[in-house]
């Protein structure tokens, strides 16, 4: 099931509508402008670009539509790019290389935005921004299967996505369940739909989004794993981390974060 050499680059149009928000309300004195800015301006791997590693599809955080990559994470990173006076370019690459820190270390991208949970292990390999989203693990299966917990899957097949917190959670908490690994969320959900696996584990946000379009399927269980997503940068890249954190904080106080959230999740954030 593993897809090899999956590497695709997407150039994104500048998010013009967000330019005003980023340029307005000016208590910020750090010069924006990746390549030409002041001493604090982060060094970027590609002139004029903020290169993002992500694993597609991960709807509604990042997915391809009409040849463009769109989604919640994409719009948040567009705000960071705007702040740096550059445009975002997206590199689609398997999640496992993102979460291990290998892609950041090898200079494949400036940052990783991939609906990625902040974990202690990952924190040893690269640095995370402040949290920007809450998540928890969940099970999705055909409604008729009644998969309300791992015990309903004894002797059955549970699909997991390679390198994810869901995979790790299932490996620890689902004894007697056969785990089947998939490279990305798209392949995982296709396997659930076609019955190749009896259920899948992944983050609640993507699964609730998927069942909106799949009325025969349900999220039968959410595990209270208390996860938070963060944007990753190469270890020690404090200059970029600072811009990301300032941008997230500014988006939260200006209401831009809430607008983007509502656009992709159909409701306001609870906190």
Burial class (CB in 10 A: 0-12, 13-18, 19+), 26: exposed
CB of 269 to ligand GLN, least distance (A): 17
Place of tokens 């694993």: 55
User: Hey, is 255 helix, strand or coil?
Assistant: coil
Q: Which of 55, 71, 159, 186 binds ligand GLN (CB under 6 A)?
A: 55
CB 101 within 8 A of CB 125: yes
Using CB under 6 A as the binding criterion, the count of chain residues that bind ligand GLN stands at 13
Region from 10-18, 110-118, 192-200, 259-267 binding ligand GLN, contact rule CB under 6 A: 110-118
Residue 58 binds ligand GLN, judged by CB under 6 A = yes
- Strand-pair partners of 53: 91, 112
Site string (114-133) toward ligand GLN, x via CB under 6 A: xxxx----------------
H helix count then E strand count, the chain: 10, 15
Q: Which is nearer to ligand GLN, 59 or 78 (CB)?
A: 59
For ligand GLN, the binding residues in 192-221 under the rule CB under 6 A are 203
Q: Which of 85, 88, 129, 161 binds ligand GLN (CB under 6 A)?
A: 161
Who's near 38: CB < 8 A, 6+ residues apart?
30, 31
Q: 69: part of which helix (H) or strand (E)?
A: strand 68-70
CB of 216 to ligand GLN, least distance (A): 23
Place of tokens 């340029």: 23
Region from 66-74, 83-91, 160-168, 232-240 binding ligand GLN, contact rule CB under 6 A: 160-168
Q: Which is nearer to ligand GLN, 3 or 143 (CB)?
A: 3
Site string (65-104) toward ligand GLN, x via CB under 6 A: ------------------------------x---x-----
Region from 81-89, 150-158, 161-169, 209-217 binding ligand GLN, contact rule CB under 6 A: 161-169
Q: 63: part of which helix (H) or strand (E)?
A: strand 63-65
CB of 166 to ligand GLN, least distance (A): 6
Report DSSP state, residue 15: -
Region from 33-41, 42-50, 108-116, 261-269 binding ligand GLN, contact rule CB under 6 A: 108-116
Q: Which is nearer to ligand GLN, 82 or 95 (CB)?
A: 95
Number of residues assigned to the chain: 271
Strands 137-142 and 217-222, sheet pairing: antiparallel
- Strand-pair partners of 64: 69
H helices of 91-226, where? 95-99, 102-105, 120-125, 165-173, 185-194, 204-212
Binding site for ligand GLN (CB under 6 A): 55, 58, 95, 99, 114-117, 135, 161, 164-165, 203
């Amino acid at each position: 099931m593993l897809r090899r050499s999956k590497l695709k680059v997407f150039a994104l149009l500048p998010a013009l509508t967000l330019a005003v928000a980023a340029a307005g309300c000016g208590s910020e004195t750090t010069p924006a402008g990746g390549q030409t800015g002041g001493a604090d301006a982060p060094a970027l791997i590609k002139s004029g670009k903020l290169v993002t590693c992500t694993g597609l599809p991960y709807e509604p955080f990042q997915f391809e539509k009409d040849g463009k990559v769109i989604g919640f994470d994409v719009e948040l990173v567009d705000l960071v790019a705007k702040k740096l006076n550059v445009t975002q370019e997206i590199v689609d690459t398997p999640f496992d290389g993102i979460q291990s820190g290998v892609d950041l270390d090898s200079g494949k991208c400036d940052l990783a935005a991939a609906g990625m949970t902040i974990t202690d292990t990952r924190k040893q390999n690269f640095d995370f921004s402040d949290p920007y989203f809450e998540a928890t693990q969940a099970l999705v299966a055909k409604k008729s299967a009644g998969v309300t917990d791992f015990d309903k899957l004894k002797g059955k097949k549970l699909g997991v996505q390679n390198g994810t917190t869901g995979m790790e959670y299932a490996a620890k908490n689902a004894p007697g369940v056969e785990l089947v690994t998939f490279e990305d969320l798209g392949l995982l959900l296709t396997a659930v739909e076609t019955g190749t696996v009896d259920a899948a584990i992944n983050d609640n946000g993507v699964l609730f989004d998927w069942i909106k379009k799949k009325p025969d399927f349900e999220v039968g269980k959410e595990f209270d794993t208390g996860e938070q997503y963060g944007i990753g940068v190469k270890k020690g890249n404090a200059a970029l981390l600072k811009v990301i954190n300032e941008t997230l904080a500014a988006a939260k106080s200006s209401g831009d974060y809430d607008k983007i959230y509502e656009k992709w999740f159909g409701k306001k954030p609870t906190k």
